[in-house]
Amino acid sequence: GESVGLHLPTLSVQEGDNSIINCAYSNSASDYFIWYKQESGKGPQFIIDIRSNMDKRQGQRVTVLLNKTVKHLSLQIAATQPGDSAVYFCAESPDNAGGTSYGKLTFGQGTILTVHP
């Protein structure tokens, strides 16, 4: 059938605001979740991760929240800066037998974050 391009959600914020990017995941067996940032012309860059036995993890200016009940993940960026403008992806990794995902991450569609000075 005809393929349809992904229409990525967009989030536009002012510099200094806090940003919240949301992600719904589908696999209840997923054990590990990661947020990546991808700038134009570059590969995805690791931001922060969280394991399924946690519901919150903080990094430098970023916080990830995990709600396993509704299978929802969010990334909060504090004091957003123009350099944060990028596409943000959540990714999930299943916990196959033996704790080995064999390298397979399932990515969300991504969210375009634009930060205005």
Partner 1 sequence: KAGVTQTPRYLIKTRGQQVTLSCSPISGHRSVSWYQQTPGQGLQFLFEYFSETQRNKGNFPGRFSGRQFSNSRSEMNVSTLELGDSALYLCASMTRGRTRDTQYFGPGTRLTVL
CA distance 59 to 67: 18
Using the minimum distance from each CB to partner 1, give the nearer residue, 4 or 70: 4
CA distance 105 to 71: 16
The C-alpha R_g of the chain, in whole angstroms, comes to: 15
Question: What's 59's DSSP letter?
Answer: -
Using the minimum distance from each CB to partner 1, give the nearer residue, 19 or 37: 37
Q: Where does this chain bind partner 1 (CB under 8 A)?
A: 3-6, 31-32, 34, 36, 41-46, 49, 51, 89, 91, 93-96, 99-110
CA distance 55 to 11: 24
Rounded least distance, CB 39 to partner 1, Å: 10
Using the minimum distance from each CB to partner 1, give the nearer residue, 56 or 104: 104
CB 109 within 8 A of CB 8: yes
Using the minimum distance from each CB to partner 1, give the nearer residue, 43 or 117: 43
Cβ count near 33 (within 10 Å): 23
